[in-house]
Structure 1
Amino acid sequence: MVGPIGKVTPESHPVYPETNSTPSPPPQVSSFSRRIHGWSWQAFPIGMGTGAVYVTLSGLQHGSPVLTAVETGFYVLNMVLFVINTTTLFLQALLYPRQACRLLKDPVKGVFVPLVVLSFATIIIGTINYTVPSGHGDPEFIYILFWVYTGFAVLTCFPMLMIWFSRPHDLMHFTPAYAFLIFPMMLVGVVAFNVLRVMEPEDTRSIGVLLTGYFFQGMAGLGSFLTFIYICIYIIRIMTTGFLEGHQANGAFVVCGPPGFTALALIKLGERSREILTVHNLVSPTAGEIWYSVSVLGGLMLFGLAVFFFIFSALPYWFRLHKHLSEILGCWALTFPNVGWIATLRLLGDVFNIKGFFIVHLIMSILMCLTWGILFVLTATAFWKGLIFRSQPEDVVRDIIPKTPKSTHKEHYSDKCSSRTASPEMSMV
């Protein structure tokens, strides 16, 4: 409306409700919920690194009650970490099933799922080392644990392999950490020879344990051959792109695992073959000695390959690694993949009666303990600062609120793609 002197009166402007330009406050989510939602399968390498300490120390030439007490302490700590990880991931599956499903199906994060089986393997070895000699463990129970582990490995590896191979992957971004999908099957041989330590050679069940160990890991083993194929892909990758850089530099030490653990398993299984095949008069009167001799020869060659990969990975490591505390979880690859060839040092010292093997084994055992101490302190610091195992409040709220049937394809695609974004914790891949 125009007034008498040509001015616009207030009535000429429509009245609109005032809009609040203040941004909405961030959602309130408890710290506990953020921790549960942000937990991942890469928490298990911490327990595996802890198990690597007492597995390495148990092979020292001269033991003592004090050393046994230290090893037992690490064994108990490993079990505590295993319970914490499994309980937290179980709560995640109950409270945030969509997040748990993402971790299982994600092509990057899913490779860490089989690590729960590897962590269980270190607990079995510790149980054999520290409960059976003291009378708290029963060989019958250990025998049952062996088949539980074998079934656990198969039932975990094959579904994860089906999920991972259901989509294509770029070889130029390949990392040795992808071999975690079949590591549990490879370690069946390691668990087997530890179980045979507490079984009598005259027991007919020892034959099944021995053959199963050779089947899954040995000169005609299942797990070792598959991991060697992964190693070949790794060599092709670094020939094309150069040494692994940044967070992937941690995964370079994973290639030490297959030859190292295979060498260890071959020599120990061959040693048990000398007794078991002879007692049961299998194959031929000299079959046990032949198996053992061939195992020592093959183990020595694989040991050399593992040492080469260790040096090959260690020389450029410091210059290629990005020193970010948020990527500390990937550094645990410095521990457990190297246990195989370090433990083989002691075996070769016994076989060839060379003192130098015992000295190098002692040095590497000390370095393993120092590495564990540094990594444990840095991991605890990163956890305290919230750099690992903690989701953003928005991510937690998004998984709490159920999706409506009217959600668009674009929103679904965006949510699906955001779940595939690698978090700082995925620092080996």
Structure 2
Amino acid sequence: MSTRRGSWADDEKSVSYIEDLSLRGRIAHFTWTWFTLTMSTGGISNLLHAQPHTFTGLTTIGKIIFIAFIVMLVFNFTMITTRFVQNPGSLKSSLTHPTESLFFPCMWLSLAVLLMNIQAFGVPSSGPWLVTALRVLFWIYVACTLIVAIGHYHALFTGVTHVSIHSMTPSWVLPVFPVMLSGSIASSIASSQPYEERLPIIVAGVSCQGLGFLISLIMMALFLGRLMVDGLPAPKLRPGMFMAVGPPSFTALALIGMSNSIPQGYGYFGEHPMAMDVLQALALFFSIFLWSFALFFFGIALVACVEGYEELYWGLVCWAFVFPNTGFAIATINIGNQLNSEGIKWVGSIMTILLVAVWLINLGMQVRAIYNRTMLWPGKDEDRDELRQKKV
């Protein structure tokens, strides 16, 4: 056994460096946080599909990233299942750990992104069976994520996974994020559904999106209060501040998408033909309102990360640089499409280029972290015991 030091946080420098740790020992530290990788990769493929400015091969690139996303998702499920099978009791431990448990919803978020990508890349090349399958999966997803959100917050409220308000980060929004993304799924799949099925999906999507966004508003108020009282989080945690960009961004893109999928002349909209135009206009202007809200949190997170860059090192939380901002970029593109503004569309395209670059950098840094044993290693991951003892 030997000890190795690197440019990491002080609370991790004392961890022993075990040269002969087995593969099984490394898998034991495979956490729910790994699903931030699939969230981000699926978000990039979805973002490429939404591009207003295309070129030959862009669709192919998007499909390749989508396939890579599926491979990563299967890998994540295989590895975390292996961890739980090889280490009895680790599933319960992961769901009650005050830090790791907050990332359990990332698995559900990855499934939401999967459904949106299937709509984008699968439905145009498949028969009506896939449209039906997506509809069934949507309703299952809504039911499951609503139960998960209620159960997860109940665990937080009752102290099963105790957390302190002084350690509050935007990750507290994650338990309700999956049910909120039901609205984003609805905005994606509704346009391909039959009229008689489309309206219930849109109503459910608006309801879930509203639930998630309102809960996120409460959490963001707590987060701002925490910043005012206790200051910025530690530099290594500051990338997580970008999570606050997600709720307003995904709400904006969901509202525009659902308003554009309204079944014209059917049901309520057959009896009130003017309602469709009114709702589309409201969705657009409320989305612009939300876009500036997202921009504010983006700026706060960016300045905080730049200020602490000397102490910033790569961890899975750095995937927050990507996933929330893919929603921000898609919302920008959707607003540009609605206003028919080339300037706004180009802003969305530039954001896409930057996000793809950050995604590639993160991929390289994650491979490097695994090789350097600063991930999947005792005391290095979100399951470490000192986080449980500190109850942060």
Normalising to structure 1: TM-score of the pair? Answer: 0.81
What's the counterpart of residue 297 of structure 2?
Answer: 309
Deviation at residue 263 of structure 1 after TM alignment: 0.9
User: Helix, strand or coil: the match of 1:118?
Assistant: helix
Question: Does 1:224 pair with 2:213?
Answer: yes
Deviation at residue 341 of structure 1 after TM alignment: 2.0
Partners of 1:248 and 1:346 in 2: CA distance: 29
Deviation at residue 244 of structure 1 after TM alignment: 2.8
User: Is the Cα–Cα contact under 8 Å of residues 278 and 288 in structure 1 kept in the other structure?
Assistant: no
User: Helix, strand or coil: the match of 1:38?
Assistant: coil
What's the counterpart of residue 360 of structure 1?
Answer: 347
Partners of 1:256 and 1:170 in 2: CA distance: 22
Pairwise mapping of residues 345-384 of structure 1 onto structure 2 (< 5 A)?
345-384=332-371
Pairwise mapping of residues 10-409 of structure 1 onto structure 2 (< 5 A)?
31-135=22-126, 138-167=130-159, 169-200=163-194, 202=195, 204-217=196-209, 221-273=210-262, 276=263, 278-282=265-269, 284-321=272-309, 323=311, 325=313, 327-391=314-378
Cα shift readout 1:14-56 (whole Å, capped 9, x = no counterpart): xxxxxxxxxxxx9997622112211100000011111121111
Deviation at residue 323 of structure 1 after TM alignment: 4.3
Partners of 2:18 and 2:368 in 1: CA distance: 26
Change (3 A) 1:322 1:102: farther
Q: Which one-letter code corresponds to 2:252 in the other structure? A: A
Change (3 A) 1:381 1:165: same
User: Helix, strand or coil: the match of 1:62?
Assistant: coil
User: Is the Cα–Cα contact under 8 Å of residues 181 and 250 in structure 2 kept in the other structure?
Assistant: yes
User: Helix, strand or coil: the match of 2:37?
Assistant: helix
Cα shift readout 1:246-282 (whole Å, capped 9, x = no counterpart): 2221111111001111111111112222xx1532244
Give the RMSD, CA atoms, in angstroms.
2.4
Deviation at residue 64 of structure 1 after TM alignment: 3.9
User: Is the Cα–Cα contact under 8 Å of residues 278 and 287 in structure 1 kept in the other structure?
Assistant: no
Partners of 2:18 and 2:331 in 1: CA distance: 54
Which structure shows the higher helix fraction? Answer: 2
Partners of 1:198 and 1:148 in 2: CA distance: 18
Question: Does 1:420 pair with 2:358?
Answer: no
User: Is the Cα–Cα contact under 8 Å of residues 176 and 255 in structure 1 kept in the other structure?
Assistant: yes
User: Is the Cα–Cα contact under 8 Å of residues 199 and 206 in structure 1 kept in the other structure?
Assistant: yes
Deviation at residue 421 of structure 1 after TM alignment: 5.1
Deviation at residue 152 of structure 1 after TM alignment: 2.8
Partners of 1:324 and 1:30 in 2: CA distance: 27
Percent of paired sites with the same residue: 24
Give the unaligned 5+ runs of structure 1.
1-25, 393-415, 424-428
Partners of 1:209 and 1:111 in 2: CA distance: 28
Q: Which one-letter code corresponds to 1:98 in the other structure? A: G
In the TM superposition, structure 1's runs of 4+ consecutive aligned residues that sit over 4 Å from their partners are 26-30, 321-325, 416-419
Deviation at residue 86 of structure 1 after TM alignment: 1.2
Change (3 A) 1:99 1:28: farther
Partners of 1:245 and 1:39 in 2: CA distance: 23
Partners of 1:106 and 1:319 in 2: CA distance: 30
Q: Which one-letter code corresponds to 2:136 in the other structure? A: I
Normalising to structure 2: TM-score of the pair? Answer: 0.88
Change (3 A) 1:391 1:287: same
Give the unaligned 5+ runs of structure 2.
1-16
Q: Which one-letter code corresponds to 1:173 in the other structure? A: S
Q: Which one-letter code corresponds to 1:188 in the other structure? A: S
Partners of 1:42 and 1:421 in 2: CA distance: 19
